[in-house]
Every structure is written in structure tokens, then in C-alpha cells.
Amino acid sequence: MKSDFWYRFLRNKMAVAGSVVVIFLFVISMLAPWIAPHDPSTINLKKVLSAPSGMHIFGTDQLGRDIFSRMIWGSRISLKVGFVATGLSILIGAILGALAGYYGRWVDAIIMRFVDIMLCFPSFFLILAVIAILEPSIWNIMIVIGLTSWMGITRLVRADFISLKERDFVQAAKVVGVSDFRIIFSHILPNAMASVLVAATLGVAGAILTESALSFLGIGVQPPTPSWGNILTAGKDNIDIAWWLSLYPGLAILITVLGYNLLGEGIRDSLDPRLRD
């Protein structure tokens, strides 16, 4: 089963391309202090808004800071937000989905109603409203994105639980007298992890997009901390003179998100080739 997965995964060009992008970004963000050619926060007023050159390959911003170095450091923010926010949404989604699917009846009714209610809110509205109240900061953003993106995972996990709880191994565990808690978390949940893994990979992509949009609007990661989104804000302010501020960070977001999406789809196709459309 496992070797089947890797066989299919490694033959799937899109999945491999996605993994390459994701691993590359990991390496970049880990090595940021060593590979960034300049200090990301050194202000140089003699070089304000200078176009890309050999010295500054992606140009400089309105304070003369090196864009390339800021983008390398910005990759850390994207990674952090992507993983923490998605981790939180999986935690909430898996627990609620497991409870709803396992216990059914009123537990299910209440939890799924709650999911329906949350889905009524345009998630960007909800995020903005909470940020308005809690002060924008990287931690608040991660938490808020996590708190507003667990609904899909809840539905997935619930569906898995509903079919898994009827299976023989669960019935056997019940007969032997294993507690509900252990049945849910050590017997059924591991079997539902496959779909969660796919949703999580796609979720990281979504969280990175949301963070960049928030930072772009000035309610995300706050300057001087570099993030791809807030470099683009400077791009908008200098739209008629400095195209490089707008082009490169957006390209980085695009490639990152594309990488995670390809990886997620690749994992799904390799787990179960029948799911391919």
C-alpha cells in the first residue's frame, strides 16, 4: 500500500513539481540569514526605489531596502502562517468532525449546524472583523485564519468516521471494552488521516494566500517585518514608478501556492487513483 503510494506519487509529474517547490521554500526560509545578500531591514536612502540591478537583483523599496533579501525573509512568514493556521484548523476540524461522526444524533446535529452557520460568513469578512478587534499581528492572523477555516476538514473527517465506525475493527474494539476516547483517537482517526493530509496541504496554500491579502491591506503582518503581502503594499503606493515592487513578491506567492496545490492534488491522486477526475 505504502510503496504503491510512493510509486504513483513519484510518477506524477505535478506532484513532484509541487514537492520540489515546497522543499525549496523550506530550505530558503531555514537558510535565510545565510543566503540573503543584504540585511532585510537596512535602510539606505541613497538607493530609494532603484530598479533591479546586479547589486539588488529585484530592486529596492521606498526606503532603499533590498527586495530580494526581504522576500527571502518573507518566506519565513508565509511558512509560519501556513503551518500554524492549518495546524489549528486541523485540530479543531478533526476533533469536531470525529465527535460528530462517531456519536451522531444530537452531537452531530449541533456540530454540523455550527459548521453551516460558520459557512454563511464570507470568511474574509469574519477574519477582518476579528482582526479589527484584536490588533493585527502575526500571531493573531494565524489564529484567526485557523479559526475560520476548519469547516471543510470537519465535514471530511465526519464522513470518514461515519463509514469507519461500522467497520469490524471498531466493533471489535468496542466489544473488548476500549473507551470511546481511545477508539476515536487511536483506532479510527489514523484511518481518516489520508483525506485530512490532502485538505491540510491545500489549506496551507489557502492560508498563505489569505495572509498575503491581509498584509497587503495593511491588517496583516506589520512593517518593518517583511512579508510578501506588505512588500506589495509598497508596490501599490509606487505603482507608476516601481513595477519591480509589485511583480516579484506576487510571483513568489503564486509559485508557493501553486506548489502546495500541486502537492495536495498529487497526494490525493496517489492515495487513491480512482479519485482522479
Partner 1 sequence: MIPLLIGITIICFTVIHLAPGSPTDLQTNLNPKVSLEAKERLQSIYNLDKPLYQQYFMWIKKLAVLDFGNSFSSDQRPVLDKIVERLPITIAINVLSMILIMVVAIPIGVLSAVRQDSFFDKATSVFVFVGFAVPTFWLALLLMIFFGVRLDWLPISGIRSLNYEYLPPLSALWDLIKHLIMPVILSAFGGLAGLSRYMRANMLEVIRQDYITTARAKGLSERVVIYKHALRNALLPVITILGLSIPGLIGGSVIFETIYAIPGMGQLFYMSVMSRDYPLVMGVLFIGAVLTLLGNLIADVSYAVVDPRIRVS
Q: Which one, 23 or 254, has the nearer CB to partner 1? A: 254
Beta carbons within 8 Å of 174's beta carbon, 6+ residues apart: 183
List 36, 48, 107, 118, residue binding partner 1 (CB under 8 A):
118
247 binds partner 1 (CB under 8 A): yes
- What track of x and - describes contact with partner 1 for positions 125 through 144 (by CB under 8 A)? xx-xxxxxxx----------
* Cβ 7 to partner 1 shortest distance, Å: 23
List 189, 209, 221, 263, residue binding partner 1 (CB under 8 A):
209
275 binds partner 1 (CB under 8 A): no
272 binds partner 1 (CB under 8 A): no
Q: Which stretch binds partner 1 (CB under 8 A): 79-87, 96-104, 171-179, 230-238?
A: 230-238
121 binds partner 1 (CB under 8 A): yes
Q: Which residues here bind partner 1, judged by CB under 8 A?
A: 113-114, 116-126, 128-134, 205, 209, 212-213, 216-219, 232, 235-236, 239-240, 243, 246-247, 249-250, 253-255, 257-258, 261-262, 277
